[in-house]
Amino acid sequence: MNEFAQRLGLQYPLIQAPMAGVQLHALTVAVSGAGALGSLPCAMLSADALRAELRAIRDQTDRPFNLNFFCHAEPAPDAAAEAAWRDALRPYYDEFGVDAAKIAAGAGRAPFGDEFAALVDEFRPPVVSFHFGLPAAALMQRVKRAGALVLSSATTVAEARWLEAHGADAVIAQGLEAGGHRGIFLGGDLTTQLGTLALLPQVKAAVRVPVIAAGGIADAAGVAAAMALGADGVQLGTSFLLCDEATTSPLHRAALQSEAAAHTALTNLFTGRPARGIVNRVMRELGPLRSAPHPAFPLTTAALAPLRAAAEARGNSDFTSLWSGQNNRGCRAIPAAEMVRLLCRGFEATGASR
């Protein structure tokens, strides 16, 4: 019997990764209903939209679920960095006839704060997970007082130790293979980042709290491998991207099913923080990781938004963030409950399911 699953009343210690921008409550509800832990990403939702999502979850399931928030520092606008970034994009503005003067700056992703904490108090989710560290101590205590088990992503052993020392109840060891944003929060040196196979056993040896493996796990064999390496549970994102309940756009779905998906890279072009996505035109032409000045996370997104819209209107994803992990072999256009069933066969040999 798996302690982590037992503590949450889950049938399987499998977490569907929260994925901002490609899912709402339908995926959460389907996964939780199938005996795993469904997640709802909140970073791109307003408080009103989150309230509506929470009502839908409460209406549709009484199973445990996870609410996920970003906890980056709110960036100060930097006019010089914004101007440098727009200069780099100028040839594309000319190509698409975009008037750069009319682009509104804006964040688009909000960190965890009082408004979100009030909704945690009101709806009392069994699990709250964070990306980019943990919120300030007072907010953290508030989440714990609401009864939530708190998880956060660690991309190094040092981050795992830090999370445990600051009150995380479990640590998600996010290997370099993972799709979407790196959870990195202690410094920004990407040479510190480890693959899942290297990170997981080292994190497991360094902390006492349960460790969830994430990154590159795409089928039952991958689930069994992570459990054999000592994981207390697994978290998968990419494999759920084609599921019926995900809101992944048709262009993103097409890219995931194309040969292009074989080549992913870390890029900071879309948001200002490194995230893994399928290499596309803007990543190829500007280089996926920009070291020249650019607005801080998440302000980088605004200047790219009209190019994304213009390209998408022409039917291409040249300027779209196509988040994906390195292993997309598990992607299937099937109901999420069926995906959970396929993946959870990996627990049979380990005795981790109930």
Ligand X SMILES: Cc1cc2nc3c(=O)[nH]c(=O)nc-3n(C[C@H](O)[C@H](O)[C@H](O)COP(=O)(O)O)c2cc1C
Candidates 117-125, 140-148, 186-194, 214-222: pick the segment binding ligand X (CB under 6 A): 214-222
| By CB under 6 A, residue 43 contacts ligand X | yes
| By CB under 6 A, residue 111 contacts ligand X | no
Candidates 53-61, 221-229, 281-289, 321-329: pick the segment binding ligand X (CB under 6 A): 321-329
Q: Name the residue nearer to ligand X (CB basis): 196 or 353.
A: 196
Tokens 């906890």 appear where? 71
Angle CA(207)–CA(218)–CA(173) in degrees, nearest 5? 15
- d(CA 69, CA 63) in angstroms, rounded, equals 20
Query: 154, 163 in Cβ contact below 8 A?
Result: yes
| By CB under 6 A, residue 18 contacts ligand X | yes
- d(CA 263, CA 46) in angstroms, rounded, equals 33
List CB contacts of 108: < 8 A, sequence separation 6 or more.
44, 298, 301, 302
| By CB under 6 A, residue 72 contacts ligand X | no
Query: 129 to 148, contacts with ligand X by CB under 6 A?
Result: 131
Near ligand X by CB under 6 A: residue from 128, 231, 236, 296: 236
Which residue's CB atom is positioned nearest to ligand X?
237
Query: 277 to 306, contacts with ligand X by CB under 6 A?
Result: none
Look at the chain and count its residues. Answer: 354
Starting at the edge strand that comes first in sequence, how are the strands of the sheet with 14-16 ordered?
Answer: 14-16, 233-236, 211-214, 170-174, 149-154, 127-131, 65-70, 38-41
- d(CA 221, CA 227) in angstroms, rounded, equals 10
| By CB under 6 A, residue 41 contacts ligand X | yes
Q: Name the residue nearer to ligand X (CB basis): 86 or 182.
A: 182
Residue 20 beta carbon to ligand X: minimum distance, rounded to whole angstroms:
3
Near ligand X by CB under 6 A: residue from 170, 178, 256, 296: 178
Tokens 């990306």 appear where? 131
Tokens 């300030």 appear where? 136
| By CB under 6 A, residue 20 contacts ligand X | yes
| By CB under 6 A, residue 173 contacts ligand X | no
| By CB under 6 A, residue 180 contacts ligand X | yes
How many Å from the N-terminal Cα to the C-terminal Cα in the chain? 7
| By CB under 6 A, residue 222 contacts ligand X | no
Q: DSSP 3-state assignment of 234?
A: strand
**Closest CA relative to residue 211, chosen from 186, 175, 187:** 175
Q: Name the residue nearer to ligand X (CB basis): 156 or 324.
A: 324
Residues interacting with ligand X, by CB under 6 A?
17-20, 22, 41, 43, 68, 131, 153, 174, 177-181, 214-217, 235-238, 323-325, 327
